[in-house]
Amino acid sequence: MNPFFLLGRGFLKILSDCGGIFLFFLKSLIYSLSPPYRIRLLIKHMEFIGVKSWLVVILTSLFSGMVTAYQVNIALAKVGSQSILGGVVALTLTRELGPVLTAVVVIARAGSAISAELGSMRITEQIDALKIMAVNPIQYLMSPRLWAAIFVLPLLTAIADLVGIAGGYFIGTFLLHIDPGLLTARMIDMVELKDIMSGIIKSIFFGAYLVTVCGYKGFYASGGAEGVGKATTEAVVISTVGILVSDYILTTLFF
């Protein structure tokens, strides 16, 4: 087959997916503004996306903070600036690692489950059944999930920041024997409110983005069980790559 044809077809598919995902997000948002307001579902999804993810988030951020401190210390030792280790670790976590790792963990744990659940509902006609019962399926299935992710991701990110910094502090003081007072003082000197807020704002965007992509892929899944598997894989790949790309864009906008 003509390579230009394949390239064009692939490009059109990406454009169509981008447009579809954006419209899906707008619908989820707009439908959530009109009654019925599904508070019970919102709390249920907050529990699923947030409460059930905290342990994985803590483990991931703790070891990321520890390894960051360890590696950064090696680099800083070469220029004799080990005293700023605490500040560098805290900046890395609050600006980048905290929001990005949290989003990736939530994609792996909750995003994939959302995609698989909605995909399974699609192929077993449960989404059509909602329509038949005069219930807007996007309003019922997506709107509460969207708000749940928007509310929960910043909280998880804040936990990730704290635990990651604690991990760095632990390595700095106990393994690398840096003075705890100096470590803390440099953290306070170097980290500004803007750094923490930029990570939190990113996490709000990541929450809305990952739940929309995962929901979209599941909601429009087709082709039986194989189709659900494919939709889930695509959801995880697209949302993870998208998080990393958008993180770069947001970072250049913030700083």
Partner 1 sequence: MITIKELKKSFDGFEVLKGVNLTIPENKVTFIMGQSGTGKSVLLKHIVGLLKPDSGEIWFENKDITKLSEKELQKIRRKIGFLFQEGALFDSMTVKENVMFPLKEHFKMSKAEMEKVAEELLSVVDLLPAKDKYPSELSGGMKKRAALARTLALKPQIVLFDEPTTGLDPILQVSILELIKNLKEKYNLTCVIVSHDLSLAFKFADYIAFLHGGIIIEIGTPEEIKTSTNEFIKRFIESALL
Number of residues interacting with partner 1: please give it, by CB under 8 A: 13
222 touching partner 1, by CB under 8 A: no
Residue 193: HSE in the Cβ half-sphere, 13 Å Cα cutoff: 0
Residue with tokens 């992710």: 149
125 touching partner 1, by CB under 8 A: yes
Which residue, 102 or 139, is less far from partner 1 as judged by CB? 139
Site for partner 1 in 126-155 (CB under 8 A): 126, 128-129, 131-136
Site for partner 1 in 104-123 (CB under 8 A): 120
124 touching partner 1, by CB under 8 A: yes
Site for partner 1 in 17-76 (CB under 8 A): 36
Name the minimum Å distance from CB 129 to partner 1: 4
Which residue, 1 or 133, is less far from partner 1 as judged by CB? 133
Which residue, 34 or 71, is less far from partner 1 as judged by CB? 34
Name the minimum Å distance from CB 54 to partner 1: 23
Site for partner 1 in 194-213 (CB under 8 A): none
Name the minimum Å distance from CB 87 to partner 1: 48
1 touching partner 1, by CB under 8 A: no
Name the minimum Å distance from CB 134 to partner 1: 4
Name the minimum Å distance from CB 118 to partner 1: 12
Secondary structure (H, E, C), the chain: CCHHHHHHHHHHHHHHHHHHHHHHHHHHHHHCCCCCCCHHHHHHHHHHHCHHHHHHHHHHHHHHHHHHHHHHHHHHHHHCCHHHHHHHHHHHHHHHHHHHHHHHHHHHHHHHHHHHHHHHHHHCCHHHHHHHCCCCHHHHHHHHHHHHHHHHHHHHHHHHHHHHHHHHHHHHHHHCCCCHHHHHHHHHHHCCHHHHHHHHHHHHHHHHHHHHHHHHHHHCCCCHHHHHHHHHHHHHHHHHHHHHHHHHHHHHHHC
Contacting positions for partner 1 (CB under 8 A)? 36, 120, 124-126, 128-129, 131-136
